[in-house]
Chains A and B, each alone.
Chain A
């Protein structure tokens, strides 16, 4: 417990931050600053950062579930198709089933909530069905979800006759991003609470360690970490608050309320609800991964399936739960994605399975199982989205965009392999 061997330790060693996380953050910062220079400062504007975050949400939510799937040595090729089916079901629900069968029209206060409940239920049930085939019928996940990819993509098509369905319920559309933001005051309050909670979490963790006489990092390192985390949270909120609603749109909003817009009024968007959903998902998924039996068993099974089995873990039921959770998250993403587009379209979620898997893998999830973090996958999704929008902004031709994204995926995994070889970690 006493550090007899005082090796020379760097700043980052003291902070005990995951060096792979630092590497990813560095990659993201370099990428953003690079694009910002090339675009003459258009990349790092509040507006673009706002758009970047809301574009990332849908893939990032699914990527957090994909981490569990891949950690448990499975794969899910059907997430984009499942998203489409959930989106189709929810679009039908709010525009046809609820109005026609229950007399609840669009914008009825119960419409959005019933729609979302049905959508989440459908996604979870379909996911559980996939998991049952993988766990109990022992069909490889690759095959089950490859089949699922074709089935659910076309179930969505069949349900909607391939039509675009819209407009959607106005409350429902608030989950999409720009149409549902908290405004500057609430955003600041929520950001402040989050910062306080984060600092409390750090302090609490340290207290638990001290009470058991475990080694802790130096107090100053803990403070640096606390300040860093709260600065990051408040900085993010500040950026989203500085993206202001265009004057013309604001005027229309006042007109809709039958009021006169005060002269020179400036209103910031603040935190989009969809981003709040992503943050909530990330926190819950991280707690599940690190602090629950379910999460522990997922990692144990991925590390050594035989050991998990011999420890009395029911790995079949576990597989069902993992895929059910994945299905739930696909449905949640479907809410965000269709709300953002303001309608359901037939090509919804196309290629998302590849983006989601790539986000998880760039985020450090090992396809051999047992290793992967939620924050890594979300950062992976953010890096991919930044790459894509940055290239679009610079005017890179569409084929080159995909060539670059594909190459980056392979390079990221190569870097990871070399890194793990050097550090000797798994």
Chain B
């Protein structure tokens, strides 16, 4: 077996006494989609925010390509080719799509000034690929629909050649058509060998898109299963009852 892209071992973090994530271990291989499941407040977002550099873990270790790494901030995560689509999207509403796409990684001209034209051109290119209906390039993203905003956030994560992609409920604000588009995108990225952590509420979607699933409840890991070994009901009972199914786990 190859080395995992990411291994998170024994991760814990507490917020003022509440253990939001308690000794959780998950891993991710190239070209694999791992679903993270669990009720609201289970600790999924908190876990992946440790990987993306938004939170500092209290204990545990993170390995990228088998090497132990320290991720202090989002820049560190990005330097390991970890890209994140946050549940909140993390867009600056007052800026336009291109500014958000390149936020923190702006293209500049030789004189060091922002190269607005180049950024808009790149933005038009990637949006043309992800969401051909997108036309509002000069409006602030506050003027966009939920789906359009989501596609800006997705564009930002995939534009910079991510090797490890974290998607926290990427289809929450989308209609059925756009959701289908994201599913297609996940398939496509997977074929390029990118590893994806996918947080999703829809068990059915997880069954369809993921290779494995890790289920969390109250900050603890219930278990990790191969999707091919389980049914929708098995996953549901893991989420609701917090019990590991009888099938062998990986």
Contact = CB atoms under 8 A, between A and B. Distances in A.
Contacts, number: 91
A63 to B, nearest CB: 20
B246 to A, nearest CB: 40
A296 B114 contact: yes
B245 interface: no
B120 interface: yes
Nearest to A208: B117
A212 B114 contact: no
B91 A307 contact: yes
Contact of B88 (A290, A296, A306, A370): A306
Interface string B154-184: 0000000000000000000000000000000
B90 A304 contact: yes
B120 A214 contact: yes
Nearest to A311: B104
Contacts of B214: none
B95 interface: yes
Interface of B is mostly: loop
Nearest to B121: A212
Given A292-B114, A310-B86, A371 B92 contact: no
Contacts of B144: none
B240 interface: no
Interface residues on A, range: 20 to 34
Contact of A370 (B89, B93, B104): B93
Interface string A306-323: 111111110000000000
Interface string B29-55: 000000000000000000000001110
A426 B142 CA distance: 7
Interface residues of B, number: 35
Interface string A176-208: 000000000000000000000000000000001
Nearest to B113: A291
B73 interface: yes
Interface in B194-232: none
B117 A425 contact: no
A331 B74 CA distance: 36
Given A303-B93, A309-B74, A425-B143, A296 B99 contact: yes
A324 B104 CA distance: 21
A312 B113 contact: no
Interface of B: 52-54, 73-75, 78, 84, 86, 88-95, 99-100, 103-106, 108, 112-114, 116-118, 120-121, 140, 142-143
Q: Please provide the 8 A-B residue pairs with the shortest distance between their CB atoms, ordered closest to farther.
A: A303-B94, A311-B104, A303-B92, A312-B75, A370-B94, A307-B90, A300-B92, A311-B103
